[in-house]
Amino acid sequence: MSDSFSENDDQPLDIDYWSRSFLALVYPVSITVTISACLAILLYDLYTQSNVFEDSGLILSSKGPHAVSFSELTWQSFKIALIIIGMIALATCLLVIFVYYHCMKFLYAYLFITVISVFSLLNLAVLSMIIAQLNCPIDWFTIVFYVYNILIVALLSMFWYSPNIVKQIVTIYQCIIMILYVLKMAPEWIAWALLPLLALWDMFAVLLPFGPLYLLINLFQKRQLEVPAMMIYTTGLWYRNQNMNNQHEQIHSLNLLFLSHSTLEHVSNACNTNASSSNKRRTRKSMLGLGDFIFYSILLAKTVFTSQCNLFTIIIIYLCIIMGMLGTTLILVILHRPLPALPISLLIGLAIFFYYNHIGYQFTEILHYPTGPILI
Model pLDDT, residue 6: 44
CA distance linking residue 374 with residue 376, whole number of Å: 6
> Higher confidence at residue 154 or residue 247?
154
| Mean pLDDT in residue range 327-336 | 82
What mean pLDDT value characterizes the chain?
76
Checking if the pLDDT of 310 tops 60, the result is: yes
Weakest-pLDDT range from 6-10, 33-37, 137-141, 284-288: 6-10
Strands 368-369 and 372-373: antiparallel
Write down the H helix ranges in the chain: 15-42, 44-49, 52-56, 70-100, 104-116, 123-134, 140-159, 164-185, 188-207, 212-222, 261-274, 290-306, 311-335, 342-355, 361-364
pTM exceeds 0.85: no
DSSP, res 252: -
Which range has the top average pLDDT, 19-33, 145-159, 178-192? 145-159
> Higher confidence at residue 337 or residue 11?
337
Q: 3-class DSSP state for residue 2?
A: strand
Weakest-pLDDT range from 15-24, 72-81, 112-121, 353-362: 353-362
Between vectors from CA 105 to CA 144 and to CA 290, what angle results, nearest 5°? 60
CA distance linking residue 369 with residue 158, whole number of Å: 48
> Higher confidence at residue 308 or residue 271?
308
CA distances to 88, 205, 369, 375 from 366, rounded to whole Å, are 43, 44, 10, 11
Checking if the pLDDT of 138 tops 80, the result is: yes
Model pLDDT, residue 97: 92
Residue 311's pLDDT band (cuts 50, 70, 90): confident
Least Cα distance to 335 among 44, 2, 82 occurs for 2
- The sign of the dihedral angle between the CA atoms of 117, 118, 120, 125 is positive
Checking if the pLDDT of 255 tops 50, the result is: no
Kindly list the domain boundaries of the chain, sorted by start residue: 2-241+284-373
Q: 3-class DSSP state for residue 77?
A: helix
